[in-house]
Amino acid sequence: MNTLETLEAHVRELVREDGFDPMTDKSRLHELVSSTIEQYERMAILGKVIPLTNPVSASRFLMDAVGGLGKLQQYMDDPDVEEIWVNSPEHVFVARHGIPELTPTVLTRDEIARLVETMLGSTGRRLDLSTPFVDAMLPGGERLHVVIPDITRRDMSVNIRKFVARAQRLSELVSRGSLTAQTAQFLEASVRAGLNIVVSGATGAGKTTFLRALAGAIPPKERIITVEEVFELNLANRDVVAMQCRQANLEGYGEITMRRLVKESLRMRPDRIIVGEVREAEALDLLIALNSGLPGMATLHANAARDAVAKLSTLPLLAGENVTAHFVNPAVASAIDLIVHLDRDVSGQRRVREICGLTGRVEESRIEMSAIFKTVDGQLVRGEGYPPKQEAYDRIGISIHRLLETSVEWAS
C-alpha cells in the first residue's frame, strides 16, 4: 500500500467507528481528514514517515476517495459533464454538452465495486444476484443505474446522470436555442389552459428538463402531484407532493409500483398530475385519470410524435387481457391534447422537433393528429394545425389563433 492508500484506509476506519455517512456529512469527514493529515505531518517532522509532497492534494484525494466517488469525482465536479458511465475498468465515458467521450481514467474492478457500494449506501436500495439492476438517486440529485454480471457479460455497468443546468422556465430553453419564442408562448398558454401534454424523445433528448420547464408555467395556486420511478423533477412550484417507486424488500414484499402511485395520487386532491416517465401499464391509469378531467403531463420514449401516440395506444394493453384497443384508442385521442417531440442533433443540441395536436377523432383505428409546429430545413416553423380544446384558451383570455399566427419575441 502506498502512503495515500494507507491514509485512506485509516480515514475509512475512523468513519466506521464514528458511524456516519461520509457522502452526506461532508463537514464531519473534513474534520477527520484534516486531523489525519495533521497527525501524519507531525509524524513526518519526527522522521517516522515520509513527508507528503502536497498535503492539500492529499486532503482532496481523501475527501474524494472516502466521501466522494474517487477517480470519478473530478467529473462529478465538472459543470460541463452531464453524464458518466463505466462499461469496464478501462472504459470510462462522460458526455459533455451531449457529446460522449472516452476519458483517460482507468479503474479496477474493486474500485468500481467500492464506488457502487458507496453510492448505494445512502439510497436504501440493494444490488445482488436476485436484484441485478438498481435505479436510485444520489444525495446530490444525480440518477444512478447499475447492472451487474451475469446480466452484463463481465463487468458492472454504471451510469450516473447529473442533470446539469436544468431549466425551470420555458424562457430559459428559448435562450438556449431549444425552441422559438412563439413556440414557448404557445406551450406556456397550453399549460395554463390545462391541456394534457406528453413530451416524447429518445434517451438524453432532454425530456425531464423540458417537463420541468413546462411545470414552471403551471399557475402557482395549483396543487401538483408528481409520480416518478426515482425523484428527478424537483419542481420549484409552491404546492408540490413528489412520490417515487419502491423496490421490494429481501422477502419480496413492500414494492410500490408506478400504477399504485398514479392511483394514490388521485386521492391527494391534485389540480395537476405529472408522471415522470410512462413505461408500462401505468399508461392505462394515467389515461383514466386524464379522462376524468384532471390535467396532467408525462414523458415517453419515442422516435417521433406519431410513434409516441402509437406507444400510448399500446402500453395500456399490458394492464390485462380485458383492456383492448377498442377502448384504448378513443381514450388516448380524447385524453392527450399535445405531443411535444424532442431530439438531439449531431452537435449535442437538444431541440423541439415537432408539436402535434390530437383532434380527438379516431379514423379506422388511427388517431388523428395535426402538426402545430414542425421542423423544416432544420428550423422549427408553424405548421397547419391547431390545438384541441380551444375554449380552454378562451377561458384564460388567450386568443390561440392570434398567438399562433403572430410572430412574437419572448417577454419574460
> 132, 164, 196: which is the final residue of a domain?
164
With 50 as the cut, is the pLDDT of residue 27 above it? yes
Cα–chain-centroid distance for residue 387?
A: 27
Distance CA 38, CA 7 (A): 12
pLDDT of residue 195: 97
Total domains present in the chain: 3
Q: Model confidence at 248, in pLDDT bands (50, 70, 90)?
A: confident
Q: What is the pLDDT of residue 26?
A: 86
- Alpha helices for 2-122 (secondary structure H): 3-18, 26-45, 55-67, 73-77, 109-120
Question: In this structure, are 103 and 214 located in the same domain?
Answer: no
Residue 411, in any domain of the structure: no
The per-residue DSSP string of 246-268 comes to: B---TTS---B-HHHHHHHHTTS
HEC secondary structure over 310-372? HHHHHHHHHHCCCCCHHHHHHHHHHHCCEEEEEEECCCCCEEEEEEEEEEEEEECCEEEEEEE
Q: How far apart are CA 203 and CA 198, in angstroms?
A: 15
> Largest Cα–Cα distance in the chain?
88
Q: What is the CATH number of the domain that holds 286?
A: 3.40.50.300
pLDDT score recorded for residue 412: 43
Cα separation, 21 vs 307, whole angstroms: 45
Is the pLDDT at 272 greater than 60, yes or no?
A: yes
Closest by CA to 111, choosing from 139, 71, 81, is 71
Q: Based on the domain organization, do 99 and 39 belong to the same domain?
A: no
Q: Mark whether 314 and 399 lie in a shared domain.
A: yes
Shared domain for 62 and 87, answered yes or no, is no
Helix (H) or strand (E) holding 374: strand 366-376
Separation in Å, CA 251 to CA 120, 123, 126, 245: 19, 19, 13, 17
Phi-psi region of 5 (alpha: psi -120 to 50; beta: other; left: phi over 0): alpha
* Claim to verify: residue 32 and residue 159 sit in the same structural domain: no
Query: Residue 410 pLDDT > 90, yes or no?
Result: no
**pLDDT (tens digit per residue) in 108-123:** 999 999 899 888 877 7
Residue positions counted in the chain: 412
* Domain interval for residue 346: 170-405
Neighbours of 267 (CB within 10 A): 8
Determine, yes or no, domain membership for 82. yes
Q: Give the end of a domain, one of 52, 68, 84.
A: 68
pLDDT at 409: 55
Distance from the first to the final alpha carbon of the chain: 58
Distance CA 249, CA 124 (A): 10
- For 330-340, what is each residue's pLDDT tens digit? 999 999 999 99
- pLDDT over threshold 60, residue 325: yes
Shared domain for 145 and 157, answered yes or no, is yes
Residue 325 shares a structural domain with residue 368: yes
Average pLDDT over residues 247-258: 83
- In this structure, what C-alpha cell is assigned to residue 350? 437538444
Write down which residue in 24, 39, 68 finishes a domain. Answer: 68
158 located within any domain = yes
Q: Are strands 272-275 and 296-301 parallel, antiparallel or unpaired?
A: parallel
| Residue linked to cell 451487474 | 148
Residues 6+ apart with CB under 8 A from 242: 226, 228, 231, 233, 234, 235
The answer to whether residue 412 sits within a structural domain is no
Cis peptide before 150 (omega within 30 of 0): yes
Q: Which of 48-62, 67-81, 125-139, 364-378 has the lowest mean pLDDT?
A: 125-139
Q: pLDDT category, 234, cuts 50, 70, 90?
A: confident
Q: What is the pLDDT of residues 128-157, one digit of tens each?
A: 887 899 888 887 778 899 999 999 999 999
Same domain, residue pair 322 and 359: yes
pLDDT, position 408: 54
Statement to judge: residues 143 and 190 lie in one domain = no
Report yes or no on 80 lying in a domain: yes
pLDDT at 24: 81
CATH at 98: 3.30.450.90
Q: pTM value?
A: 0.83
Same domain as 342, residue 237: yes
Q: 236 with 216: CB under 8 angstroms?
A: yes
Same domain, yes or no: 287 and 139: no
- 410 located within any domain: no
Q: Give the pLDDT of residue 187.
A: 97
**What is the H or E stretch that residue 201 is in?**
strand 197-201
22 lies in a domain? Answer: yes
Residue 369 shares a structural domain with residue 396 = yes
